[in-house]
Amino acid sequence: MKKTTAAITAVGGYVPEFVLSNKVLETMVDTNDEWITTRTGIKERRILKEENAGTSYMAIKAAEDLLQKRGIEASEIDFVLVATATPDMPVASTAAYVASEIGAVNAFAYDLQAACSSFLYGMSTAASYIESGRYKKVLVIGADKMSSIIDYTDRTTCIIFGDGAGAVLFEPNEEGLGLQDEYLRSDGIGRQFLKIDAGGSILPASEETVKNKQHFVYQDGKSVFKFAVSNMADVSALIMERNNLTKDDVQWLAPHQANKRIIDATANRMGLEAEKVLMNIHRYGNTTSATLPLLLYDYEKQLKKGDNIIFAAFGGGFTWGSIYLKWAYNS
């Protein structure tokens, strides 16, 4: 019997209208366009300004865009996974709310949190459900409102992050297309280098934690950078080797958009030319869980049925990994 694989059959996306450029950041903190561009590759990022709107606002828009493009009813969806590091609320599931709002009345839903690797891990989860044969339509949304956890007086973090959402639909495939292999890793050593100290069970919110700005992202950028460069390159090279892929067999690298220098190092290690590297960090910055689906959203028209894509991510925790996927359609 032929093995059922899990293929991406549709993509949707949403970024807020408000653009925060390097030039504007120059007026907010002690930084400059040249430093940001050469150190990160970022030129501008989007910020969600709508009042009382959280991550779900963007996730819903990305999902609705996907449903409209794929031409299916939300009621056909079996499972909605929202990959996010910034849920609407600490307790009520963002995914459950999103599923109800889009009309996925027959679906179950939950959130997945693995910092910048949330979407990569989510792809693995979705594919496993499809491969098991139990579910036929799995919606994976990567969405983050990073502006809700960033201190806009801290120049080491506020220049990096942006808001956005992307969505993909996984469905069974009988032609051998879709997810081929994955290599997922984590290491708790990372917790000291990239974290939000307060608001969790170790240090609940208090007047003190607010005063000390402990609800914002703290990052030891240099240390994270070192781990990210070596690990993202290692797993990308490993998954190529394990699947006997040469650089000519790989049509695209879809890397997490944290820093252009990390992306370049990964592409170099794989021997890939710049034209094969999906990149939009200059427009959106690091949108955490949304980087990978937003790449697919921006490049969808260039992706061809049968193309070999290597996804790679690295994030807080630490969490990281790579996925080898064969693209399943021409758009």
Task: List active site positions.
Answer: 116, 256, 286
Does 320 contact ligand UT7 by CB under 6 A? no
**Cα distance from N-terminal residue to C-terminal residue, the chain:** 30
- Cβ nearer to ligand UT7, comparing 139 with 263: 263
Q: Which DSSP category does 55 fall into?
A: H
User: Applying CB under 6 A, which of residues 128, 148, 156, 308 lies at the interface with ligand UT7?
Assistant: 156
- To ligand UT7, the closest distance from the beta carbon of 155 in angstroms equals 4
- Cβ nearer to ligand UT7, comparing 132 with 192: 192
Selected range binding ligand UT7 among 43-51, 208-216, 222-230, 323-331, rule: CB under 6 A: 222-230
Does 286 contact ligand UT7 by CB under 6 A? yes
- Cβ nearer to ligand UT7, comparing 61 with 256: 256
Going by C-alpha positions, the residue among 214, 295, 298, 211 that lies closest to residue 253 is 295
- To ligand UT7, the closest distance from the beta carbon of 166 in angstroms equals 16
Selected range binding ligand UT7 among 11-19, 31-39, 82-90, 184-192, rule: CB under 6 A: 31-39
Does 222 contact ligand UT7 by CB under 6 A? yes
Does 130 contact ligand UT7 by CB under 6 A? no
Q: Which DSSP category does 161 fall into?
A: B
- Cβ nearer to ligand UT7, comparing 87 with 315: 315
Does 139 contact ligand UT7 by CB under 6 A? no
**Could you give the CA distance from residue 17 to residue 50 in angstroms, rounded to a whole number?**
10
- To ligand UT7, the closest distance from the beta carbon of 265 in angstroms equals 11
- Cβ nearer to ligand UT7, comparing 293 with 315: 315
User: Applying CB under 6 A, which of residues 155, 185, 215, 269 lies at the interface with ligand UT7?
Assistant: 155
Does 183 contact ligand UT7 by CB under 6 A? no
**Could you give the CA distance from residue 280 to residue 295 in angstroms, rounded to a whole number?**
7
Does 224 contact ligand UT7 by CB under 6 A? yes
- To ligand UT7, the closest distance from the beta carbon of 323 in angstroms equals 17
Going by C-alpha positions, the residue among 254, 78, 67, 95 that lies closest to residue 168 is 67
User: Applying CB under 6 A, which of residues 83, 169, 262, 290 lies at the interface with ligand UT7?
Assistant: 262
Q: In the window 32-91, what residues touch ligand UT7 (CB under 6 A)?
A: 35, 39-40
For residue 79, say if its preceding peptide bond is cis, omega within 30 degrees of 0.
Answer: no
User: Applying CB under 6 A, which of residues 102, 168, 228, 312 lies at the interface with ligand UT7?
Assistant: 228
- Cβ nearer to ligand UT7, comparing 23 with 134: 23
Count residues near ligand UT7 (CB under 6 A): 19
Q: Which residues bind ligand UT7 (CB under 6 A)?
A: 31, 35, 39-40, 116, 155-156, 159, 221-222, 224-225, 228, 258-259, 262, 286, 314-315
